[in-house]
Amino acid sequence: MAYRQKAIKCPKCGFQFDILYARTVSCQSCNRMLSSLSCEYVKCPKCGFEFPVSGSATKALEALKRWGPSF
């Protein structure tokens, strides 16, 4: 299964970014992400505004967590 980028637009500054980019850059120290590895919010990497994401973006992250190399 290939990952398909999910473009998200910040409602505050209008910056468009991929949810995985935000998770890597902006969410790495968030307690919600550290405890459950999933969250219904995302933080804009440009302005730092945190906002809820659609269910499809959350589902994309869940699918990506299940995808991985088989050992």
Bridge partner list, 9: 16
CA pseudo-torsion sign 48, 23, 31, 56: positive
Reported as a single tens digit per residue, the pLDDT across 10-62 is 999 999 998 888 888 877 777 766 555 567 888 899 999 999 887 655 555 56
Instruction: Give the pLDDT score at 42.
Output: 87
Q: How far is CA 56 from CA 29, 40, 59, in A?
A: 23, 10, 5
Nearest-CA neighbor of 41 among 66, 17, 22, 63?
22
Instruction: Give the pLDDT score at 55.
Output: 63
Q: Report the distance separating Cα 28 and Cα 71, nearest Å.
A: 27
